[in-house]
Structure 1
């Protein structure tokens, strides 16, 4: 089963609010199999334009696991904190299927 990745770009308006969001969202990741793979305040733009001040990549064991985390009560509690503190773009991306044999 391929991995899945949630990628968020955040234009942060309130650092204190993002800190509160970080605590609640981190707690929601416990038991969800989430692994933060990157947090970069200044990604190197190779082409086009990029949104935000920070990019975050979170890995999950599957698309279903990522969606279950995103829709969980714990993360739903965190979303309003993030929305009050930043303008965010978020996508769920399926990884490549592992080769068999």
Structure 2
């Protein structure tokens, strides 16, 4: 089963609020089994328009693990801080597994 990735793009309105979010979200990510793969304030846009000032990519073992983290009480407290400090888009995407030969 491919891993799952949560991608958040954040248009930050309150940098201090986002700092508070980061401090609150970190422990919930560890508890939820997330690995932070990337956080970038200046993504190199190759095509189209990109939303936000910051993009974060989190890796989870499964879609169930990603959804459980996002719905958890611990992340809920952090999420409220983020929602007050930034306009965010968030998605879950599947990792790619190439087809096996002969299948």
Q: Would the alpha carbon gap of residues 17 and 3 (structure 1) be closer, same or farther in structure 2, given more than 3 Å must change?
A: same
Separation in 1, partners of 2:38, 2:56: 5
Query: CA deviation digits over 1:44-93, x for unaligned, max 9?
Result: 11010000001100000111110110011101111110011111000011
Shift of 1:98: 6.7
Contact 1:5 1:94 survives alignment (8 Å): yes
Bigger Rg, which one: 2
Matched residue, 1:75: 75
Matched residue, 2:84: 84
TM-score normalised by structure 1 residue count: 0.93
Matched residue, 2:93: 93
Matched residue, 2:26: 26
Contact 1:2 1:98 survives alignment (8 Å): no
Following TM superposition, the consecutive aligned residue runs of length 4 or more in structure 1 with deviations greater than 4 angstroms are 98-101
CA RMSD of aligned residues (A): 1.5
Matched residue, 1:8: 8
Matched residue, 2:54: 54
TM-score normalised by structure 2 residue count: 0.91
